[in-house]
Amino acid sequence: MNWIKQFSLQNEVAVITGAVGGLGRELVKILYDAGANLVLADTDIASLQLFAEKIDPLGQRVLVQQCDVTNEQDILCLIQKANDHFKRIDVLVNCAGVLGPDALLFDLTVEDWDRIFAVNLKGSWLTSTHISQYMAAQHIDGRIINISSSLGLRAQLKRVAYASSKAAVEHLTRNLAMELVQYQIRVNCLAPGWMNTPMVEGILNGPDGKKWRAAIPMGRAAEPSELAGPLILLASKASSYMTGTVLRVDGGYAYCGIELPESVF
């Protein structure tokens, strides 16, 4: 058996929400390089079009669709467009998400909480529900990948809503996996930690950089290319016996306990 071929996404179709966000862009590039045809979804259609032209100048393998993942009609339109153009959907990556404000518990508003949960949790549930229904109706052995974070496991100051929403996404993954296994649809979760973007570089090299680097066992942020192996594993047939799994790619950050106020020490 050619073991390498099971990692190929050649001629498969992947839908990625939040496609022009910092993490989304990196995941899109990885899936494109792995051979997949792509349907990119985000709220910013102008950025989607520019990004699609950059990675696929000939316009043969990338389709864009404006989509708010909290809006059911937008999701149905996304599915219809993907079906009209590519005739199938094999992979869904739920990458749409919001971080919310850098706020302690008493400063967090109801509006902040509702917005974070609407996009991060409701959006993942709603998109997964409709696309898995489509996959089941088409008898496609689909793969759904939810995007969590180290904070789905680790507690961190000023991130109560975001961390709670990502913990909920991880449990959503397990429940979706249980329900969809009868349709040969697998659901797993990718949980990245610090990723080397300009914003993260500024933090890790800033005044508090030493503290943050010390909290990461590997002492550094991940390069975007270091997400390639885990993402392709979950998106491809190479993970055919995996469902309900949370795969952490964070240099050990999630397992370092919780962040406590300095006043505690």
What would the 3-class secondary structure string for 95-140 be?
CCCCCCCCCCHHHCCHHHHHHHHHHHHHHHHHHHHHHHHHHHHCCC
pLDDT digits (tens, 9 = 90+) for 218-232: 989 999 999 999 999
**How does DSSP classify residue 221?**
P
Centroid of chain to Cα 120: 10
> Is a pLDDT exceeding 50 seen at residue 101?
yes
Q: Which residue has the tokens 């302690």?
A: 104
6 neighbors 34 (Cβ within 8 angstroms)? no
Higher-confidence position of 265 and 88: 88
115 neighbors 98 (Cβ within 8 angstroms)? yes
pLDDT digits (tens, 9 = 90+) for 41-70: 999 999 999 999 999 999 999 999 999 999
3-class state of residue 223 by DSSP? coil
Domain 6-197+224-248 CATH (choose: 3.40.50.720, 3.40.50.1700, 3.40.1130.10, 3.40.50.620): 3.40.50.720
In what side-by-side order are the strands of the sheet with 186-192? 62-66, 37-42, 13-17, 91-94, 143-147, 186-192, 246-249
> Is a pLDDT exceeding 50 seen at residue 265?
no
179 neighbors 136 (Cβ within 8 angstroms)? no
88 neighbors 138 (Cβ within 8 angstroms)? yes
Residues tagged active-site:
162
> Is a pLDDT exceeding 90 seen at residue 261?
no
CA distance 234 to 8: 11
Which stretch of 4-13, 59-68, 72-81, 200-209 has the lowest confidence by average pLDDT? 200-209
| pLDDT for residue 128 | 98
Residues 230-238: what's their mean pLDDT?
97
| pLDDT for residue 262 | 66
